[in-house]
């Protein structure tokens, strides 16, 4: 725990009035953006599933879920935030804490973050710093500690910068996945984070609790996968809706989320039988890969795609902010303590397709998984989405392009910023790509 007297290393002192001013304006703007996004999603698919109602509600950062977490916190529960999909949610749940992902998707706060780091830095990082400076993100403010995985350069320094404000628990993943020493290092990291979580929450993680947590997440994975499976067929749900469902898993109560997602899938399955599609089945099917995109502001890419003329539909993605959130399960052979820890370690390290990894043959896992996704989800075209400053994803592009070219799948590199200014220009680019795709589909 940080004492308040310690001098801050990075974050500047801001006058309270300025903080409040920015916070209120950004919050108001954000509320508007969220409402607007949902409104537009409803407009795109007039017969949107009724079960989406719940996810619209829970997606509001300043709504029911914030109140719930606040109430739980008052009862003594701890909240643990995390940045990357490497944080072992099972351990957080087993310690009776609430896991929330605190990456920021606000455009406006990235400008506040510019005061600490230069603009060349990835906007996800800048925006998160800004959100902390003005105290915008409720989940970030409510968390008692933040698990930061040192994946990319941005995340590494972000954890350092934010340690001015919050206790940060760092985990260092090895950059090479498939050597035995890297797995043993990662297992040690998992064990360390376990003791740290226990210390913060004051609850002991017992094998029984851990097993219950793993089973909870497995059930959530089950529902999550079911939704992704449904997207394999003709579009029964718009990509944005599915993405919203996926993203709410980052902060919702996972048991309730599972129930609601199953209900949504039930509804969708009925629609499949009635052949009631969200958009015409010959709509070009697009996959997005690259930098994670976060609710609420950074929603422009899928919005442009699905509101474009000609329309496209997002059937799958390879983003750690959407399809990768709960897709990989923890597989347990024997329910012993060691095996559970091993299972968790392997699930978070080995199954990850983060571009921060490399190996003898490059980041083969990501390429393979991408090819699999393209084939299984019958994708017509791939959009490679990168925000400026996201080195790792940008640098892997040429390899991905080469592989997808050999499969005769068009891929389009789209780089952008955390800003609304380039929406018009992006619209032209996306629509040209969709035009080409729909011509190919008809052909």
Partner 1 sequence: MAFEEILSDAFRGTIIVGLTLAGLLAVLIWIKNRTTRVSYLRVVVQVASLVTIFATLLFLAQWPSILTVAIILMPFVVGRFFCGWICPFGLYMDLTTFVRKAFKMRYWNLPEKVNVYLHNFRYVLAASVLALPLLYGALDLNVWGAFALFKPPFLPLIIFFLGPLEPLIIPSQMGGSLILTKGWNLSYPYTRGFLDFLSDPLLASVLAGILVAFALATAFKVRRFWCRFCPTGVSAAALNRFKGFGWAPILRINKAEEKCTKCGICKRVCPLQVTEVYEQKGGDITTQMCMLCLRCVEMCPYEDCLKVNMAGKTLFKSRNWLEPTKVSEKPNEKQN
**Contact footprint for partner 1 (CB under 8 A):** 177-178, 180, 183, 218, 221-222, 225-226, 229-230, 232-234, 262, 269, 272-273, 275, 328-329, 331, 333-339, 342-343, 346-347, 350-351, 353, 365, 368-369, 371-372, 375
Give whichever of 351 and 391 is closer to partner 1, judged by the CB atom.
351
Give whichever of 111 and 324 is closer to partner 1, judged by the CB atom.
324
Give whichever of 98 and 265 is closer to partner 1, judged by the CB atom.
265
Structure tokens at 163: 């340690």
146 forms beta bridges with 81, 168
Give whichever of 34 and 354 is closer to partner 1, judged by the CB atom.
354
Count CA atoms closer than 13 A to 276's CA, side-chain side: 12
In the bound complex, what is the minimum distance in angstroms from residue 418's beta carbon to partner 1? 30
Give whichever of 193 and 223 is closer to partner 1, judged by the CB atom.
223
In the bound complex, what is the minimum distance in angstroms from residue 228's beta carbon to partner 1? 10
Rounded CA-CA distance 123/120 in Å is 8
In the bound complex, what is the minimum distance in angstroms from residue 108's beta carbon to partner 1? 36
Instruction: Supply the DSSP string of 96-123, one letter for each residue.
Output: TEEEEE-----SHHHHHHTTTS-TTS-H
Listed in sequence order, the DSSP H helices in 288-363 are 300-307, 337-349
Strand spans (E) along 112-200? 145-149, 168-171
In the bound complex, what is the minimum distance in angstroms from residue 378's beta carbon to partner 1? 10
Strand 381-387 to strand 411-416: parallel, antiparallel, or no bridges (unpaired)?
parallel
In the bound complex, what is the minimum distance in angstroms from residue 156's beta carbon to partner 1? 24
In the bound complex, what is the minimum distance in angstroms from residue 159's beta carbon to partner 1? 26
- Cβ neighbours around 31 below 10 Å, total: 15
Rounded CA-CA distance 84/407 in Å is 31
Q: How far is CA 123 from CA 32, 118, 127, in A?
A: 21, 10, 6
In the bound complex, what is the minimum distance in angstroms from residue 223's beta carbon to partner 1? 8
Give whichever of 75 and 360 is closer to partner 1, judged by the CB atom.
360
CB 83 within 8 A of CB 148: yes
Give whichever of 83 and 348 is closer to partner 1, judged by the CB atom.
348
Question: Using only C-alpha atoms, what is the Rg of the chain?
Answer: 21
Angle of helix 207-230 versus helix 254-274 axis, rounded to 10: 20
Give whichever of 339 and 422 is closer to partner 1, judged by the CB atom.
339
Q: Which of 84, 81, 100, 103 is nearest to 151 (CA)?
A: 84
In the bound complex, what is the minimum distance in angstroms from residue 155's beta carbon to partner 1? 21
């Amino acid at each position: 725990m940080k004492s308040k007297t310690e001098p801050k290393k990075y974050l500047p002192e801001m006058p309270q009035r300025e903080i409040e001013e920015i916070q209120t304006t950004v919050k108001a703007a954000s509320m508007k953006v969220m409402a607007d996004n949902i409104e537009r999603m409803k407009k795109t698919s007039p017969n949107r599933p009724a079960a989406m109602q719940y996810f619209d509600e829970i997606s509001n950062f300043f709504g029911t879920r914030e109140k719930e977490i606040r109430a739980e916190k008052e009862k003594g529960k701890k909240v643990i935030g995390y940045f990357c999909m490497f944080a072992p949610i099972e351990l957080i749940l087993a310690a009776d804490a609430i896991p929330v992902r605190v990456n920021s998707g606000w455009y406006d706060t990235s400008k506040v973050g510019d005061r600490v780091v230069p603009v060349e830095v990835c906007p996800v990082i800048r925006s998160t710093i800004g959100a902390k400076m003005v105290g915008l993100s409720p989940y970030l403010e409510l968390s008692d500690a933040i698990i930061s995985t040192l994946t990319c350069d941005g995340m590494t320094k972000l954890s350092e910068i934010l340690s001015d404000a919050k206790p940060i628990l760092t985990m260092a993943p090895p950059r090479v996945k498939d050597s035995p020493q890297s797995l043993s290092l990662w297992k040690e990291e998992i064990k360390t984070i376990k003791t740290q979580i226990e210390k913060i929450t004051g609850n002991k993680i017992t094998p029984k609790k851990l097993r219950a947590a793993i089973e909870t997440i497995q059930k959530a994975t089950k529902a999550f996968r079911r939704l992704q499976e449904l997207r394999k067929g003709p579009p029964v749900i718009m990509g944005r809706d599915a993405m919203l469902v996926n993203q709410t898993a980052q902060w919702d109560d996972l048991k309730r989320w599972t129930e609601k997602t199953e209900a949504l899938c039930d509804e969708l399955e009925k629609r499949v039988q009635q052949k009631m599609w969200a958009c015409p089945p010959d709509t070009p099917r697009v996959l997005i890969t690259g930098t994670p995109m976060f609710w609420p502001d950074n929603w422009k890419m899928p919005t442009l795609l699905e509101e474009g003329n000609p329309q496209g539909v997002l059937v799958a993605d390879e983003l750690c902010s959407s399809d990768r959130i709960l897709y990989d399960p923890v597989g347990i052979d024997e329910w012993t303590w060691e095996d559970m820890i091993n299972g968790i370690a392997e699930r978070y390290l080995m199954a990850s397709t983060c571009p921060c990894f490399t190996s003898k043959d490059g980041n083969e896992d990501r390429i393979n998984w991408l090819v699999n996704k393209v084939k299984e989800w019958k994708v017509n075209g791939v959009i490679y989405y990168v925000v400026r400053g996201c080195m790792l994803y940008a640098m892997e592009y040429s390899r991905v392009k080469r592989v997808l070219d050999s499969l005769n799948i068009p891929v389009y590199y789209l780089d952008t910023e955390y800003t609304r200014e380039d929406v018009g220009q992006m619209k032209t680019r996306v629509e040209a790509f969709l035009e080409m795709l729909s011509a190919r589909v008809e052909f």
